[in-house]
Amino acid sequence: MSTVEDTGAGQAHLLAAARGGDRAAFDALVAPHRRALHLHCYRMLGSIDQADDATQETLLRAWRGLAGYEGRAPLHHWLHRIATMACLRAAERRERLPAVHARAGTGS
């Protein structure tokens, strides 16, 4: 067996175990994607703290929705789609601070 086949078989085994409720298998399955997901969230949100939150939300949603992953696309595509939606929801929720404008000609 080649390394690619080993990786595919290993991923299939981890996926089956994670779908069966094995949290450690899920962690091993998503571990190679965590950094890329965090970077994706940071680029979308512009804040490390918000990227941390969105990444955690992504992983939670992926864990809860793992039964819905059909495997038609690579796992990282599915995870990035979840991350994108988490970031869009976070950007929608974030408070909009009013702009503060200095008044011209007011010197005290």
Tokens encoding 48:
């490390």
Whole-number pLDDT of residue 77 = 96
pTM, to two decimals:
0.78
Percent of the chain with pLDDT over 90: 69
Report the chain's mean pLDDT, rounded to a whole number.
86
In which band, very low, low, confident or very high, does the pLDDT at 107 lie, cut at 50, 70 and 90? low
pLDDT tens, position by position, 23-72? 999 999 999 999 999 999 999 999 999 999 999 999 999 999 999 998 88
